[in-house]
Amino acid sequence: MKRVAVLGSTGSIGRQALEVIDRHPGLELVAASSGSQPIDGLAPLTQVGGNPAEVLEQAEPDVVLNAIVGFAGVTATLWTLEHGIDLALANKESLVAAGDLAVTARERGGGRLLPVDSEHSAVFQCLEGRDPETVHSVVLTASGGPFRGRNREELQDVTPEDALAHPTWSMGPKITVDSATLANKGLEVIEAHFLFGLPYDRVEVVIQPTSVVHSLVRFRDGAALAHLGYPDMRVPISYALTFPERAATEIEPLDLSAGLRLDFEPVDSDAFPLLGLARRAGEDGGTYPCAFNAANEVAVAAFLEGRLPFLGIAELVEETLDAADGSPARDLDELIAADDAARRLAHRGLAVA
């Protein structure tokens, strides 16, 4: 029996994780958390809001699935890694904002960091058991979101409703908007840098509109391995929760006779500047990725509330990065201070927008 704690149990990933746990006799739900929705009785131990450390301490899980959305997931990521407990990580924002601290915490704790993001799960699987020396680069795929093919002018008047209509994945609102702006792919480039220890120029992004190719790894001999499957998050969730067993799921095998399309396109960086801004933040290092994430969270919330146009999201993030301090954070307190400072800059930018 593997004891599992699910943080963010009421969300899109959290609910799919509960389904996976329910159907697998070897997985036992020992604790669950949410941000504000009531979850009484969902698990033997539950917590709504606040720091999940106490409930995790009591539950003694073998694996923690962090499916909280946003910077709010940082504390749980660092706590789990420090304690040497396996971390199934959906909350990419925590690895973006706290990448350096997370890498150190994992080294100290000695647990495993298992990606749940479908692209990183794909890369993880393509890399499994291979000598890092043989790896040339990784290629993260992006669906391109609902606005693929549009130019800047055509993006001027798009609404939150348009942005929330994702063509291939059904997800929570924040990541769905991030997919429409390609900020999500930017977060994933930084996530890949920290997960796989690769420099940014060896993490590429390509558009693959059907989301069937989840990512690729290029090797030094010219070969590339790709991971294929239907876009269904229960597969990477199950893989991470049952690693290294790769348990059976109810997902249909890929039907290769049904006219699958595997086309690839380059990213239009003029229409979708957030990918480039994320790369810049990652390369600048320190707390720039934290500032990128904070400004993006503020901007996406404002866009969803109708206070900022779609193209204003990238503008606000760029202004915030230009004004941010970016010095490295030595501990969680300094990171929280950097996150706060970036949020204040972004709110100030919003007020004059």
Ligand X SMILES: NC(=O)c1ccc[n+]([C@@H]2O[C@H](COP(=O)([O-])OP(=O)(O)OC[C@H]3O[C@@H](n4cnc5c(N)ncnc54)[C@H](OP(=O)(O)O)[C@@H]3O)[C@@H](O)[C@H]2O)c1
Residue span binding ligand X (CB under 6 A) among the ranges 31-39, 158-166, 238-246, 302-310:
31-39
92 part of the interface to ligand X, by CB under 6 A: yes
Residue span binding ligand X (CB under 6 A) among the ranges 65-73, 215-223, 254-262, 301-309:
65-73
88 part of the interface to ligand X, by CB under 6 A: no
User: Which C-beta is closer to ligand X: that of 94 or that of 242?
Assistant: 94
Min dist CB 243 to ligand X, Å, is 17
Where are the alpha helices (H) located in the chain, listed in sequence order?
Answer: 12-23, 53-59, 74-82, 92-97, 99-109, 118-127, 152-155, 160-163, 173-181, 183-196, 234-242, 274-284, 288-304, 310-323, 332-352
The pattern of x and - marking residues 271 through 310 that bind ligand X according to CB under 6 A reads ----------------------------------------
From residue 273, alpha-carbon distances to 152, 278, 302 in Å are: 10, 9, 18
User: Which C-beta is closer to ligand X: that of 92 or that of 279?
Assistant: 92
Tokens representing 227? 């991971």
Q: Which amino acid is at 126?
A: C
Strand, helix or coil for residue 240: helix
Min dist CB 320 to ligand X, Å, is 20
141: enclosing H helix or E strand:
strand 135-142
User: Which C-beta is closer to ligand X: that of 5 or that of 233?
Assistant: 233
67 part of the interface to ligand X, by CB under 6 A: yes
Of the candidate residues 36, 222, 261, 333, the single one contacting ligand X (CB under 6 A): 36
233 part of the interface to ligand X, by CB under 6 A: yes
How many other β-carbons are positioned within 10 Å of the β-carbon of residue 251?
12
Question: Tokens 């009591």 sit at which residue?
Answer: 58
96 part of the interface to ligand X, by CB under 6 A: no
35 part of the interface to ligand X, by CB under 6 A: yes
Report the distance separating Cα 215 and Cα 229, nearest Å.
10
The number of C-alpha atoms within 13 Å of 51 and in the hemisphere containing its C-beta is 7
Of the candidate residues 117, 191, 319, 339, the single one contacting ligand X (CB under 6 A): 117
Q: How many residues bind ligand X, per CB under 6 A?
A: 27
125 part of the interface to ligand X, by CB under 6 A: no
Tokens representing 274? 């957030």
Q: Strand 203-207 relative to strand 213-219: parallel, antiparallel, unpaired?
A: unpaired
Q: Strand 135-142 relative to strand 213-219: parallel, antiparallel, unpaired?
A: antiparallel
Strand, helix or coil for residue 81: helix
Which string of DSSP letters, residue by residue, matches 166-210? -SS----HHHHHHHHHTHHHHHHHHHHHHHHT--GGGEEEEE-TT
Biggest CA–CA distance in the chain, Å, is: 55
Of the candidate residues 22, 26, 37, 110, the single one contacting ligand X (CB under 6 A): 37
Residue span binding ligand X (CB under 6 A) among the ranges 9-17, 221-229, 283-291, 319-327:
9-17
10 part of the interface to ligand X, by CB under 6 A: yes
Residue span binding ligand X (CB under 6 A) among the ranges 55-63, 85-93, 150-158, 193-201:
85-93
Of residues 134-193, those binding ligand X (CB under 6 A) = 169, 171-172, 174-175
Residue span binding ligand X (CB under 6 A) among the ranges 12-20, 96-104, 248-256, 273-281:
12-20
Of the candidate residues 18, 30, 83, 91, the single one contacting ligand X (CB under 6 A): 91
Binding site for ligand X (CB under 6 A): 8-14, 34-37, 49, 67-69, 72, 90-93, 117, 169, 171-172, 174-175, 233
